[in-house]
Chains A and B, each alone.
Chain A
Amino acid sequence: MRKTDRYRYLVVLAGLVVLHFTVRGRLGGDRIAPDFLLLALLIYTIRAEPGRSAAVGFVIGLLRDALTPASFGAGALAHTLVGYLSSWAKAVFFAENVFVNGCLFFAGTWLRNLIVLLASGRISGAQLGWELLVWSPLQSLTTAAVGILVLGLFGRWVAVRKPER
């Protein structure tokens, strides 16, 4: 890992954050457009330890909760769990493979939405079913597609493993 890769990695994550607040609104419906902020978290978890991933997830979730107070706290919980589990999953189960990474992005997005919906308790019944079985999979799909694209373009910078201790 070269020193410059570290900064490039941060630039990629910062770029995703900027994309979230700029181009996301023009990428289709609000419910299906890719979630760049969550994608940045999931990419961060590829090389971070679970504890740090959980902490970063908590911060991102709390900030997002400030933008949608209808589910205040639920986003923080969801992003904490997704960050922690994603980091563990990458470490224990998943190999370095584009398809596997895509599945991770898909599952992470869907799991985030599931936890937000259940923890907030604001949506239930048929509406919950629609969100979980229709809109969330679509958003997960677009997020995974963008994630694969990002890894394809910048994979060398973002998927670098920490050296063995």
Chain B
Amino acid sequence: MPLGADRYASRAGTLLFLGCVGLSVAAMSLPDTWRDPIAQGLRQTVLAPFLALQQQTELLSAARAHYDAVVAQRDSAALAATFLPELRSENVRLRSLMGLGTRLGWGYVPAEVLHQPEPTNPLTFIVSAGRNRNVRPLSAVVSAEGLVGLVSTVDAQTSLVLTWAHPEFRASAIASDGSVSGIVAPHGAAGPGVWLLELQGVPYRQLVPEGTVILTSGLGGVFPRGIPIGTVVGLASEAKGWERTYLVRPAIHPSALSHVMILIAARGSGSDIRGTFQADAVRP
């Protein structure tokens, strides 16, 4: 049987409620310089054991998946061994399937994505690598498909990643043939272009054909040159006689990620890592 409202009409309760609402509104109005240390402090203290728990669970899950993969590979190897002439070609095929990490070679750390249920999770998410793995702010975050975002804040065990979907994300970009350069930014939340990027600042005289692959240009020093950002899918808008903006379909959606690579070492100014990703792009 329901309780009467009169039992609940306590002044202290109402004041507590109003106080909590006031604090929430105050938290929403905090500038980034105050908000980030508070969030970081909470992650490193109260939430640290829970994040560690989530990280261990992700590791366990990954270990299980790896175990299944290893068993499958062992079975494949055993089968291939029975057909010795085919063993060499099988090895070649397996090598071609080796992951992004092998092709990157150095200067990266793998991390699990610790997804949260909030609808804004694709904008920023936590990954299971922090200062303990030499992650630094503004490190590029990539997957086998391409650019995911960059590290915003680094904690002891975890880091906060700002994805390409975040309204504040920007990346200097070029077409894969080097003909066009511009700035890539989220397209916005309205209309049919939801979860798309846009290539801004393309000179009006330069046309970018549909299907052109857009890569990071390496300018600005945040992202190394050659990380796939996405593919041009059409014209978004144009300022008459001045510039055009193109819609870009991102290489990967943040919600689809379970693991990422964080590029922790600065690469040479002339280095281009597009070859690292191209192998994945043609993977069947």
A-side residues, CB < 8 A to B, are 17-18, 21-26, 29-31, 33, 35, 37-38, 49-52, 54-55, 57-58, 61-77, 80-81, 84, 87-88, 90-96, 113, 116-117, 119-120, 122-128, 130-131, 135-136, 139, 161, 164-165
Contact = CB atoms under 8 A, between A and B. Distances in A.
Contact of B24 (A37, A77, A93, A130): A77
A18 B53 contact: yes
Nearest to B15: A51
Contacts of B53: 18, 21-22
Given A70-B124, A80-B21, A65 B39 contact: yes
Name, among A70, A125, A136, the residue most crowded by chain B CB atoms within 10 Å (CB to CB): A70
B28 A66 contact: no
Contacts of A116: 118-120
A145 B156 CA distance: 37
B255 A31 contact: yes
Interface in B175-193: 188-192
Contact of A70 (B2, B16, B120): B120
A65 B47 contact: no
Interface stretch (B29-37, B221-229, B234-242, B273-281): B29-37
B16 A51 contact: yes
Given A66-B39, A88-B8, A54 B47 contact: no
24 contacts: A30-B121, A33-B117, A49-B10, A49-B13, A51-B15, A54-B17, A62-B42, A64-B116, A66-B42, A67-B43, A67-B126, A68-B120, A68-B123, A73-B25, A80-B21, A84-B17, A90-B3, A91-B3, A91-B7, A92-B2, A116-B119, A126-B194, A127-B189, A165-B7
B119 A124 contact: no
Contacts of A51: 10, 12-17
Interface string B118-142: 1111011110000000000000000
B3 A161 contact: yes
Given A52-B13, A90-B2, A124 B50 contact: no
Given A24-B117, A26-B61, A69 B124 contact: yes
A64 to B, nearest CB: 7
A119 B28 contact: yes
B121 to A, nearest CB: 6
Most chain B C-beta atoms within 10 Å of own C-beta, residue among A37, A50, A94: A50
Nearest to A135: B119
Given A74-B24, A84-B17, A91-B2, 6 more contacts: A63-B46, A76-B27, A80-B17, A123-B120, A123-B189, A127-B190
A96 to B, nearest CB: 7
B21 A77 contact: yes
A80 B18 CA distance: 9
Contacts of B116: 30, 64, 67-68
Contacts of B10: 49, 51
A96 B194 contact: no
A76 B16 contact: no
Contacts of A25: 54, 57-58, 61, 115
B150 interface: no
Given A29-B255, A165-B7, A75 B42 contact: no
A58 B47 contact: no
Nearest to B167: A122
Given A22-B54, A66-B38, A67-B47, A96 B1 contact: yes
